[in-house]
Structure 1
Amino acid sequence: MTNLELKISASLKQALDKLKLSSGNEENKKEEDNDEIKIGTSCKNGGCSKTYRGLESLEEVCVYHSGVPIFHEGMKYWSCCRRKTSDFNTFLAQEGCTKGKHMWTKKDAGKKVVPCRHDWHQTGGEVTISVYAKNSLPELSRVEANSTLLNVHIVFEGEKEFDQNVKLWGVIDVKRSYVTMTATKIEITMRKAEPMQWASLELPAAKKQEKQKDDTTD
C-alpha cells in the first residue's frame, strides 16, 4: 500500500490556525473547566443523540452502539448489531443496541469513530470520492492505496475519526492519484489505469468471490 499525496488547501490551513489560536487562549481556563459539563453537551457514545440537561442526565441510561460504523458495498451498519441499510439517514437514526452510562467529556471519550457522509463521481479518466469531514487534521490522517484497494483514515474536528476500506471496481494508477484536504471536505482523486466507465465504486461481492476462486485455481 502507498500513502497518497496530501494536498492541503489554504482554507484548511486558515481554519486549523484559528482553532490553534482559540485553544491556546482557553488553556488557562482548562483546569477550571476540565470537570465541568456544560448544558447542551452531546453524549460522545456512538449513536446517542442525547444532550446534557443537568444533574438528572448523569443518572440517565444511555442507549448507544458499542461498535464502530461500517460502510461496505453501499451498505451502512454498526459492527455491534449489523442492521444493514443503504440509506444514510436511516443508518443515523438506528437506535443503539447497548445500555450504559452517557459519556459527556472528551477526556473520557478519546477518539470517536463516527460516520461521515460521502459520495463519488467519475470522469473518463478519474474517480473522485468526497468525504464531508470538517477541519481534518493532515498530520493524523492518511489515505493508502494500491491498484485495486483504498484505505481511508481521517481524523477531524479534534477527536473524531472516519475509517473506510474500499475494494475498487476498477484499477487505478496510484502514482497519479492524490488527496485534497479543504476546511469542509476531503477529496480523493484516483487516476484510472484505463479510461473507461466504472459500473460502481466498489467491486460487487460476487466478483470478489470469483476473483478469489480464480486465485485459488491458479
Structure 2
Amino acid sequence: SASVAAKPYSGNPMSAEESFTLGNEEFVNQNWGKALEHFTRAAELDPSKAEYLLHKAAALTKMGSLDQAVAVCHDAMKAEPSNPKPYLRKGMALVQKGDLSAARGALEEGQKMDPSSKQFSTWLAKCGDALPPAPAGQAGRHDGALGEMLEAHGGQVYPMLDTVLEYLKRNSDFFDRNSALAVDMIHDLSKKYADSPAVAAASPSPGGCAGGGGEGGLVAMPVTVSASAKSALEKAIKQREEQGDGEGGDGKVKPGTQCKNNSCTKCYQDESSLEQECLYHPGAPVFHEGYKYWSCCKKKKTTDFSEFLSFTGCTRGTCVFTDDPTKKKKALCRYDFFQQGPQVTLSIYAKKVHPEQCEFKISATRLKIFICFDFVNTFALDLALAGRVRPGECKVEILGPKVEIVLKKGDGSAWTELGNSLMEEDE
C-alpha cells in the first residue's frame, strides 16, 4: 500500500486531547490528511494512549496506507497490551489489503480478549470463515411476557421500556429473570413491536402532541454572520477566482481508491468496480453526549469510535469513486446539540457558508434548514423536534467553523434527542 507521511504540525500549541478532538472533526468531514496530522500530534504528545494511535491507523486506512496502519496498530498493542481494539483495527486494515490469513490471525487474537464483541465475529466472517451462528431458540423466547407487558402499558412501547430500564438500574431481576435476559427482552420488544401499527397509533408523536412537526407555519429565523465567517468566505472566493477552473486531474480513477459513499470499504480495481453494489449511510454522523451514530439510523448507537466506523450501511447503492467539482452535492456535516436551562443549542460543523444561499425555518415543533457551504456542498435537515419551542425567540449565528442554532424551549422539559427526521430518503 502507499506510504503517507503526516505533515508536521504547524498550528498553535495544544494538548493531546485538543489535537485528538480536531482530528475527529476532520475525520467525519472526510479530510483524511488533516485528521492524520492531528491524530499524529495527539499520539506524539501522549504515546501511552492507544485510542490516539488507533484513530491515526483509521486515517491511514482511509488514505490507502494499509502497511502503515498495521504498523501503528502494533504501537497501540505495545501501549495497551490488554486492549483488544488494536487487533480489531489491524484485522480491518488487513482485510482491506486482501491478506485474509493475517487478518484472521489478528482478529482471533483480539477475540480471545473480548469474546462477547460482535465486531470480531463480523470481520472474521469477511475472512471467509464465518463463526457458528448463535444457539437456536434465543430470539422470541419472551413473546408471551412481552405481549402481557405491552398490554399492561396500554400498547405504548416507550413507557414499557422505561419500566424495564428502571428495573435494570436497580440491578434487580425482571419477572424472575436475570438482567442479561432483561436486556434480551428489550431487544425482542423493540424488534417485534416498535413498528407495529397499533403501537404507532397509541404512541405519542414527537414533541408530545399529535401532529409532530406539522403544527403551525414555518417562519424564517434571524441570522447573524460573524466577522470571522465573512472573512473566511471572502478569502475562499478570492482563492477560487485565482485558481480558475479546469485544474482537475485526468479524470481517471486510481486502483485502490476507496468508495466515497460513507461506510463502504470497497476499493476501485477496474472499470467493473463502477457497477458494484455497496451499502452506505446517506445520513450525517452525529456525536452527542458520548454517543456516536448516523442520523439515518439513530437506533444504532455506540460510545466506541472504532465500532461507529464499522457500522454497516443502511442503504443500497452503487460505488462512487470520483467527485464532480462543479456540481452541488449533498455533504455530510457533523452536528451535535446540548441543552442548558431553557435553551437547546444545535451546532452544525460547516465552513465557508454562503448565507444568501441558506434557509433556516422554524415552527413550534419543526426545524427545517438548508445550508450551502464550500461553494458546491449542501446540507439539509428537516426535523420534528423532540419538544416544543418558541419560534420568535430562536436564532441562527454563522461562525467560522460552524453554524449555531439556538432554540428556546416552550416548556421546561429535558430533551433526550433532537428530534425525528421528516426527510424522504431521496431528499
Equivalent residue in structure 2 for 1:125, among 342, 365, 371: 342
TM-score of the two chains, using structure 1 as the length reference: 0.68
User: 2:248 aligned with 1:33, yes or no?
Assistant: yes
1:68-79 residue pairs with structure 2 within 5 A?
68-69=282-283, 76=294, 78=296
**Match 2:382 to one of 159, 165, 172:** 165
Q: 2:340 & 2:355 partners in 1: Cα distance? A: 27
Provide the rounded CA distance (Å) in 2 between the counterparts of 1:125 and 1:83.
25
Listed as ranges, the gaps of 5+ residues in structure 2 are 1-217, 421-427
Per the alignment, do residues 17 and 123 of structure 1 end up closer, same or farther by CA in structure 2, a change over 3 Å counting? same
User: Where do residues 77-92 of structure 1 align in structure 2 (5 Å cutoff)?
Assistant: 78=296, 84-87=299-302, 89=305, 90-92=307-309
Q: 2 CA distance for matches of 1:43 and 1:109?
A: 18
TM-score, scaled to structure 2: 0.38
How far residue 16 of structure 1 moved from its aligned partner, in angstroms, is 0.6
- Judging changes above 3 Å, is the alpha-carbon distance between structure 1 residues 17 and 59 closer, same or farther for their aligned structure 2 residues? farther
Percent sequence identity over aligned pairs = 25
Given that residues 172 and 192 in structure 1 are in contact (C-alpha distance below 8 angstroms), is that contact kept between their aligned partners in structure 2?
yes
Local SS of the residue matching 1:33: coil
1:47–1:64 contact (8 Å) kept in structure 2: no
Residue by residue, what CA displacement relative to the aligned partner does 1:101-139 show, whole Å, maximum 9, x if unpaired? 53413258641242x322222222322111122222222
Name the CA distance, whole Å, in 2 between partners of 1:95 and 1:108.
30
Superposition CA RMSD, Å: 3.7
Amino acid at match of 1:118: Y
What does 1:101-180 correspond to in 2, within 5 Å?
Answer: 101-107=319-325, 110-114=328-332, 116-180=333-397
Shift of residue 22 of structure 1? 0.7
Greater Rg by CA: 2
Provide the C-alpha distance between the structure 1 equivalents of 2:364 and 2:239, rounded to a whole number of angstroms. 41
- Determine the C-alpha separation between the residues in 2 that align with 1:77 and 1:152: 15
- Does the CA-based 8 Å contact 1:58-1:102 persist in structure 2? no
Aligned equivalents of 1:6, 1:165: Cα separation in 2 = 18
Matched AA of 1:200: T
Supply the distance in 2 between the matched residues of 1:49 and 1:158 (Cα, whole angstroms).
Answer: 27
**Structure-1 separation of matches of 2:300 and 2:345:** 23
Corresponding position of 1:200:
416
**In structure 2, do the counterparts of structure 1 residues 11 and 144 end up closer, same or farther at CA, with 3 Å as the change threshold?**
same
Segments of 4+ moved more than 6 angstroms: 38-42, 49-52
Residue-by-residue CA offset, 1:11-40 (whole Å, 9 max, x unaligned)? 11111111101110011xx23537546979
SS at match of 1:155: strand
Displacement of 1:10: 0.9
Task: Return the structure number with greater strand share.
Answer: 1
CA shift in 2, pair 1:101/1:69, >3 Å: closer
Deviation, structure 1 residue 46 = 4.2
Distance 1:173 1:155, change over 3 A: same
Change (3 A) 1:32 1:154: closer
Instruction: Provide closer, same or farther for how the CA distance between residues 164 and 42 of structure 1 changes in structure 2, counting only shifts above 3 A.
Output: same
The worse-fitting range, judged by mean Cα deviation, of 175-184 and 95-104 is: 95-104
- Equivalents in 1 of 2:232, 2:267: separation in Å? 26
> Greater share of helix residues, 1 or 2?
2
1:27-62 Cα offsets, whole Å, 9 max, x none, are 1xx23537546979875444446788xxx5656456
**What is the match of residue 3 of structure 1?**
220
User: Is the Cα contact below 8 Å between 2:232 and 2:352 reproduced in 1?
Assistant: yes
Q: Give the 3 Å change call, closer, same or farther, for CA 46–169 of structure 1 in structure 2.
A: closer
3-state DSSP class of the match of 1:85? Answer: strand
Letter aligned with residue 300 of structure 2: T
**Structure 1 residues 57 and 23: alpha-carbon distance in aligned structure 2, compared to 1, 3 A threshold:** farther
Pairwise CA distance, 1:87: 3.7
Match among 185, 192, 212 for residue 402 of structure 2: 185
Secondary structure (helix, strand or coil) at the match of 1:134 reads coil
Give 5+ residue unaligned stretches, structure 1: 205-218
- Structure 2 match to 1:210: none
- The more displaced of 168-177 and 32-41 is 32-41
The structure, 1 or 2, with the larger RCO (C-alpha pairs under 8 Å, 6+ apart) is 1
Query: Distance in 1 between the 2:308 and 2:229 partners?
Result: 29
**C-alpha contact 2:326 2:376 (8 A) present in aligned 1:** no
Letter in 2 for 1:68: P
